[in-house]
Structure 1
């Protein structure tokens, strides 16, 4: 470059390209919008639901996943799940049982009281280390007559000695733990015993499943009374033999060896008492 010549400097802006982000942000955005739409829909449904529907919804979401997949009763409920849950249908974590309030006809105040009773029983049993495992052998079910609490046998942990009405120690402790809680309500109580379909050697002509189921129901009554249950609350103690197997079970399954405690609604108790009134018997004869 000669003297006096001007030096020319050309500055060219450096081209900067943003990194390639792809379309992953769109997927994330779509997921977020979907979740928000679902949330707003749930909030809207809850805001328009009646108190009864909200109670039913709460009970539905208390259902353990294993029970829901097995189509067993909720609750729990259900607690033990009948049917479903593995080689032994009584062994399902946490079912204890479903109380499906959507199809029941009990008055809402009665239903609420019985649901609270079920929750109290679960809480007390779960708090006792020696009884906690028995929750898997309990089934709760809301019926038009009231709250049914079923105590189920398993091969590994029977409630009674085989072929006998002798109560196992843990069954005795469970019944005596439940008894004070039943006293907290004015409802009457019905007890029914059930067996599997295995017959005695002598058939039904001698001591049979009819007697065994009735004896076991009465043995359970004695343990409840020993635990503090007011004897005046007992309205019925019956044996059903093997005639009412659990839905989804085979007649010989261990879960059919069970005791059912039915906490009766006022209307159900009145129907049982009215069945023996003289005017009804007279009407039948006519």
Structure 2
């Protein structure tokens, strides 16, 4: 007799899913926060002006609270003045006060651990004082531009910043407000008025100035090979004449150059109107003395110590050029 087949009952135990603890909520909150931050940054970028963006870029290039020590601005320096014009060439930049390397008194400077020579102390003090005077002049000019009826309408075209050479004032073109006639060195009437006003503002400053003319990269050719180099030079000289008409003494002009399109303000768009500009650099004492040293006959190209130049010996004084006492000017800037 066959036995009945056994009945096998399989019981499936259902296990409830474990509680996830809400970890997904944390991840989702992080994602939402990141998206909010992203759209906030995009909104700020959209409403910021070019000068504000340049200032933010400069902060990230040099976020240190201490004053930078580079002899020339970094490659990313755009604003508000754009790239460095370098109106006064320097053959030995490292010997210029304020150049690369530790400053007197810094913890990393070996000179801070031993007595300093009197000339080094005097040079450091003169540099600090020179910087302070440039800062004061900058604030005075900014306040004067705000309060001047002639300059206030053009304050968006007047850019002021400090460079290793001194205080730079730039008058730039706008899309519908050029400074000069097209392809010409003839100034617009309002440009002449701006230059006259700047000449009156700078008349009381003891510093000399250097001027540079800039064009955009748009090709320009006139008869007899006249191009952007000649045009930028002629515009720089037109600016010089307008400053003199405003009251600036001719002896205060140290250098006038034309740089064509070689130093664009907006490197991303070489043909932008803002690249057409006039740069007026109020030279600090070290740059002024360096310019005279390089321009003097028989100059070797080595940087001259401003303190030594400011206090020459009797023999040096006798051989000094007749065009104004450089020693007295340097002493007046202390």
Range class of TM-score, shorter chain: 0.5 to 0.7
Contact 2:198 2:243 in 1 (8 A): yes
1:162 matched to which residue of 2? 182
2:274 matched to which residue of 1? 255
Contact 2:266 2:274 in 1 (8 A): no
Q: How does 1:1-286 map to 2 (within 5 A)?
A: 66=49, 69-72=52-55, 97=80, 105=98, 107-201=127-221, 206-280=225-299
Q: 1:68 to 1:210 in 2, by over 3 A?
A: closer
Question: Any gaps of 5 or more consecutive residues in structure 1?
Answer: 1-64, 75-95, 99-103
Contact 2:237 2:256 in 1 (8 A): yes
Contact 2:145 2:155 in 1 (8 A): yes
- Give the TM-score of the pair, scaled to structure 2: 0.53
Question: Any gaps of 5 or more consecutive residues in structure 2?
Answer: 1-47, 58-78, 82-96, 100-126, 303-334
* Cα distance in 2 between the residues matched to 1:184 and 1:201: 40
Q: 1:73 to 1:66 in 2, by over 3 A?
A: same
Q: 1:169 to 1:72 in 2, by over 3 A?
A: farther
* Cα distance in 2 between the residues matched to 1:244 and 1:231: 26
* Cα distance in 1 between the residues matched to 2:285 and 2:274: 29
Q: Larger relative contact order (C-alpha < 8 A, sep ≥ 6)?
A: 2
Contact 1:131 1:170 in 2 (8 A): no
1:117 to partner: Cα distance: 1.6
Q: Provide the secondary structure at the position in 2 that maps to 1:191.
A: strand
Q: 1:68 to 1:137 in 2, by over 3 A?
A: closer
* Cα distance in 1 between the residues matched to 2:199 and 2:158: 15
* Cα distance in 1 between the residues matched to 2:52 and 2:292: 40
* Range with greater deviation from structure 2 (136-145 or 186-195): 136-145
Runs of 4+ displaced beyond 6 Å: none
Contact 1:73 1:141 in 2 (8 A): no
- Cα root mean square deviation, aligned: 3.0
Number of paired residues? 195
Q: Provide the secondary structure at the position in 1 that maps to 2:219.
A: coil
